[in-house]
Amino acid sequence: MARDGRGGGAGGGVAGGEGWRQWLAGLEDSLAGALELPRDAVRNLPRITLLGGLELVVENHRGVLFFAPGRVLVAVPGGRLEVTGRELAIGRIDREQLRLQGQVEQLRFLPVSGGGEESGRAGPRRTGGFSGRGASRPGGKAR
């Protein structure tokens, strides 16, 4: 087995699999370059487009974690995107894309420790309704 974590076996023999993740990220970058594909498509990265400070488009988001007219927190792969501004409003949201309208003043990427695909997900938090088997109901009783 190679000492750089590229040897056989799950995790490449590197404690915690961090070397494996780095090696895989390098492979994805190489593949993107060889096939002339954008890195965000191959590596599952968010694509963030700011249109004149009046509209922000976030592709490959994982949901809105917090919303107020002056601050929005969006889950993205690998972390969270904090948007601050004035009169912010959600123009459109679907599985692929989030459009924020208003005066965008600042964008900050807040990485989530631990890395990996799951760290940027909004998680199982639900804002209303019941879903799934065994979902709790008011009063603490399960279905």
- Chain-centroid distance, C-alpha 51: 21
- Hey, what's the torsion of the CAs at 6, 12, 17, 19, to 10 degrees? -20
Q: Which token pair is 108?
A: 């900050």
Q: Of residues 33 and 114, which shows the higher confidence score? A: 33
Q: Of the ranges 7-11, 40-44, 107-111, which one carries the lowest mean pLDDT score?
A: 7-11
Two tokens, residue 5: 């974590």
pLDDT of res. 38: 57
Does pLDDT of 138 surpass 80?
no
SS3 41: helix
- Could you give the 3-state DSSP secondary structure of residue 32? helix
CA dihedral 84, 89, 91, 96 (to 10 degrees): 50
**67 lies in the same domain as 85:** yes
124: confidence class by pLDDT, cuts 50, 70, 90: very low
Reported as a single tens digit per residue, the pLDDT across 20-77 is 777 777 777 776 667 666 565 555 789 999 999 999 999 999 999 999 999 999 999 9
Number of domain units in the chain: 2
Query: Which residues constitute the domain of residue 113?
Result: 46-123
- On average, the pLDDT of the chain sits at 73
85 in a domain, yes or no?
yes
- 35 and 62 both lie in a single domain: no
Question: Are residue 77 and residue 112 in the same domain, yes or no?
Answer: yes
Q: How far apart are CA 98 and CA 76, in angstroms?
A: 11
